A and B are shown apart, each in its own frame.
Chain A
């Protein structure tokens, strides 16, 4: 646990020191990654700890965003003085209120039905918002400007970054503290066995409403920060995509671990930032990553890391080194082949390319990985095949080997990497 603390402090120091040295593009990407991290952590309070899978968390994110935009407007027009620094508090309050209200109804149901109620609530808002001008500014949405407060102008991206960082760190800290309170422990018990906590004298419905409300509240803070950063919000913050993205982030990172969703959100949103500049297909890659994680690492990246940390003393690291290296190499080969095919298709099937073919009558060579390729040359399609087939074969062999090595060395618990008390309870 001491190492974890040192790692977190080092990361924090990096987040404070590094951004001034980066361009505004990266600063902006980091703001979005931080917001996504907070949103995922808030979402995971409901999903990972409370055991309630929501498909409509965009609603509370959006409520936070619109609350803040309304407040910013009244500050801008001088109707109501409110320090910019504290704007997320307002978003939190309104989202908490909405969360408690929505949670009251949604938590009357469980499982798939709960998920559908949350989905319906978000879709309700999403379909209503573009027609409700006074509240959501119609299809165009609402805009405002950040007013100077506490001697800060919030004119530069960097200042917004530090504001975001401060709020995100405080909120994630609070969410972590939550897990160590009696109610935090009760939340886990609720996830494991709702019936039992009722027979132990707890009000299960009330508990679920509060968990829902708190999750909505922190989602609202994330939405608020987004509104402050963009100075605008429109009905698309309620869209299925926003709800979907937080699900993706959370489960790729691993919902059974507190820091899993945070890692997932940071990694995926920075991945998006880097990749979306290069290719249109970034969402495809994200979908593939998500499905692969669901299929082969059900507890997410965080779950895999945690399993390794837990077994670090019993694993035969020396014998594992070779298959791990092989798996890495094979994984790279398969990834390389996939990216090559997708990028080739993206170019060859694009409108521009079709137009060029129509204009010149010939299929011009195109560039992927810095090399020129011809559409009808056999080598162009042999290349990914030569990477893919041996890659898949090697991957299979490597994983079979890794599996046996892990199984042989398992002590008493059979590879079960569920939420362990150590991790959730913290400093032991």
Chain B
């Protein structure tokens, strides 16, 4: 019971964090057709910038200014790099962002070293919010969830209730028509790219103070975020929210479970036979927890490439 509640809570919060990063990625793909490999790098940049700023000023300055800096970097990339290679097609844009991943990772290593930095949350945020079955539950986890929730509400209101949001949604569906109607589509792209980068930066700034901040964080999170946007359906915000929660909860549960295919066979009385096979069949879920998301991604791509909520094929 304890495991169930704590794991669910951890999973939901991790899922909301995943959503904060994947929201920008999926929005950018939906509008511009660019699959931005460097998106998780923005997450990493957010964490490192916030680390530096919180050292120079305080935690809150880092939390607010770091995402803005990341958004500016994102806009510069869109304006001076992506737009330049746009004529060569989407594959080329994708390759360009792919190269940027290495540059960002190496720059971070250059400035901060190969090892994790100790990006700390302030002490007054460091308390147990409640006690579950004798275990303290850290407030900061809840804080991450709250920031994500706040961001989701802001994003939702922006997209559905404001003029800008309408243009964004129009430009997403029919860029040429939107342009013909006199909207400045390149400007919208610039804004969306910047906003997406800023969101990833914000999640880095929040999460970096809880999870390790190291040069590998972009690559590690990057592949999971890809899984999320694919499973949710490339371009679908609602889809990636569901997929984020799904994968968040799954990862959190899988770590603690030692189920295997063999135990599944055990249910129908074939346990001994399955155990004798060894190999994949007896591998516990906890050790293949990193594999399952990719399997899910693969199945979605092959069976329903539009994803859970996507409508485009």
Chains A and B come from one and the same complex: yes
Sorted nearest first, the 10 A-B pairs with minimum C-beta distance are A287-B102, A284-B106, A127-B290, A291-B99, A290-B99, A287-B103, A131-B287, A124-B294, A127-B291, A120-B298
Is A379 an interface position by the 8 A CB rule?
A: no
CB proximity to B under 8 Å, residues A118-158:
119-121, 123-124, 127-128, 131-132, 134-135
In the complex the two chains form, is A295's CB within 8 Å of B280's CB? no
In the complex the two chains form, is A134's CB within 8 Å of B283's CB? no
Q: Mark B285-313, 1 if CB is under 8 A from A, else 0.
A: 00110110011011001100100000000
Measured between beta carbons, the chain A residues less than 8 angstroms from B84 are 295
* Chain A nearest CB, measured from B76 CB (Å): 13
Measured between beta carbons, the chain B residues less than 8 angstroms from A290 are 99, 102
Is A349 an interface position by the 8 A CB rule?
A: yes
A123-B294, A295-B96, A345-B111 as given contacts; A132 in contact with B279, CB under 8 Å: yes
A contact set with B: CB distance below 8 Å = 53, 105, 108-109, 111-113, 115-117, 119-121, 123-124, 127-128, 131-132, 134-135, 240, 244, 247-248, 251, 280-281, 283-284, 286-288, 290-291, 294-295, 298, 342, 345-346, 349-351
Residue of B nearest to A134 (CB): B279
Other A-B pairs beyond A281-B110, A294-B85, A345-B111, 19, CB < 8 Å: A105-B302, A109-B305, A120-B294, A124-B298, A127-B288, A127-B294, A131-B287, A132-B279, A134-B278, A134-B279, A135-B279, A244-B98, A247-B98, A280-B109, A283-B102, A283-B105, A291-B81, A294-B92, A295-B84
What number of residue pairs across chains A and B have CB atoms under 8 A from each other?
A: 117
In the complex the two chains form, is B110's CB within 8 Å of A295's CB? no
In the complex the two chains form, is B99's CB within 8 Å of A117's CB? no
In the complex the two chains form, is B226's CB within 8 Å of A247's CB? no
A287-B99, A291-B103 as given contacts; A240 in contact with B219, CB under 8 Å: yes
Is B107 an interface position by the 8 A CB rule?
A: yes
Is B90 an interface position by the 8 A CB rule?
A: yes
In the complex the two chains form, is A284's CB within 8 Å of B288's CB? no
Q: Mark B83-103, 1 if CB is under 8 A from A, else 0.
A: 011001011101110111111
Task: Determine the distance from Cα of A211 to Cα of B88 in the docked complex, in whole angstroms.
Answer: 24
In the complex the two chains form, is B234's CB within 8 Å of A112's CB? yes
In the complex the two chains form, is A116's CB within 8 Å of B230's CB? yes
Measured between beta carbons, the chain A residues less than 8 angstroms from B109 are 280-281, 284
In the complex the two chains form, is B106's CB within 8 Å of A287's CB? yes
CB proximity to A under 8 Å, residues B62-88:
81, 84-85, 88
In the complex the two chains form, is B106's CB within 8 Å of A113's CB? no
Measured between beta carbons, the chain A residues less than 8 angstroms from B278 are 134
In the complex the two chains form, is A116's CB within 8 Å of B100's CB? no
In the complex the two chains form, is A112's CB within 8 Å of B279's CB? no
* Chain A nearest CB, measured from B133 CB (Å): 30
Q: Mark B218-236, 1 if CB is under 8 A from A, else 0.
A: 0100010011001000100
Measured between beta carbons, the chain A residues less than 8 angstroms from B287 are 131
CB proximity to A under 8 Å, residues B257-287:
278-280, 283, 287
Measured between beta carbons, the chain B residues less than 8 angstroms from A131 are 283, 287-288, 291
Measured between beta carbons, the chain A residues less than 8 angstroms from B107 are 284
Residue of B nearest to A251 (CB): B95
Task: Determine the distance from Cα of A345 to Cα of B90 in the docked complex, in whole angstroms.
Answer: 35
Task: Determine the distance from Cα of A128 to Cα of B288 in the docked complex, in whole angstroms.
Answer: 6
Measured between beta carbons, the chain A residues less than 8 angstroms from B294 are 120, 123-124, 127
Task: Determine the distance from Cα of A135 to Cα of B283 in the docked complex, in whole angstroms.
Answer: 13
Residue of B nearest to A288 (CB): B103
A294-B95, A342-B110 as given contacts; A284 in contact with B102, CB under 8 Å: yes
In the complex the two chains form, is B113's CB within 8 Å of A349's CB? yes
Measured between beta carbons, the chain B residues less than 8 angstroms from A124 are 291, 294-295, 298
Residue of B nearest to A291 (CB): B99
Residue of A nearest to B287 (CB): A131
Task: Determine the distance from Cα of A342 to Cα of B106 in the docked complex, in whole angstroms.
Answer: 11
Residue of B nearest to A245 (CB): B102
Residue of B nearest to A250 (CB): B95
In the complex the two chains form, is A291's CB within 8 Å of B279's CB? no
In the complex the two chains form, is B102's CB within 8 Å of A128's CB? no
Is B44 an interface position by the 8 A CB rule?
A: no
Task: Determine the distance from Cα of A240 to Cα of B102 in the docked complex, in whole angstroms.
Answer: 12
In the complex the two chains form, is B92's CB within 8 Å of A117's CB? no
In the complex the two chains form, is B290's CB within 8 Å of A119's CB? no
* Chain A nearest CB, measured from B213 CB (Å): 16
Task: Determine the distance from Cα of A284 to Cα of B102 in the docked complex, in whole angstroms.
Answer: 7
Task: Determine the distance from Cα of A266 to Cα of B96 in the docked complex, in whole angstroms.
Answer: 21
Residue of A nearest to B81 (CB): A295
Measured between beta carbons, the chain B residues less than 8 angstroms from A294 are 85, 92, 95-96, 99
Is B195 an interface position by the 8 A CB rule?
A: no
Is B35 an interface position by the 8 A CB rule?
A: yes
Task: Determine the distance from Cα of A108 to Cα of B298 in the docked complex, in whole angstroms.
Answer: 12
Q: Mark B51-64, 1 if CB is under 8 A from A, else 0.
A: 00000000000000
* Chain A nearest CB, measured from B218 CB (Å): 11
Find the residue from A116, A135, A280, A295 having the highest chain B CB count within 10 A: A116
Measured between beta carbons, the chain B residues less than 8 angstroms from A298 are 85, 88, 92
Measured between beta carbons, the chain B residues less than 8 angstroms from A351 are 113
Provide a sorted-by-A list of 15 A–B residue pairs whose CB atoms are within 8 angstroms.
A109-B302, A112-B90, A116-B226, A121-B298, A132-B279, A132-B283, A240-B219, A283-B106, A284-B107, A287-B102, A291-B99, A294-B92, A298-B88, A349-B110, A349-B112
Task: Determine the distance from Cα of A298 to Cα of B86 in the docked complex, in whole angstroms.
Answer: 11
* Chain A nearest CB, measured from B135 CB (Å): 28
In the complex the two chains form, is B99's CB within 8 Å of A284's CB? no
Measured between beta carbons, the chain B residues less than 8 angstroms from A283 are 102, 105-106
A112-B35, A113-B305, A284-B110 as given contacts; A291 in contact with B100, CB under 8 Å: yes
* Chain B nearest CB, measured from A56 CB (Å): 10
Measured between beta carbons, the chain B residues less than 8 angstroms from A244 are 98, 102
Residue of B nearest to A108 (CB): B302
- B302 contact from A117, A251, A345, Cβ within 8 A: A117
Measured between beta carbons, the chain B residues less than 8 angstroms from A280 are 109
Residue of A nearest to B278 (CB): A134
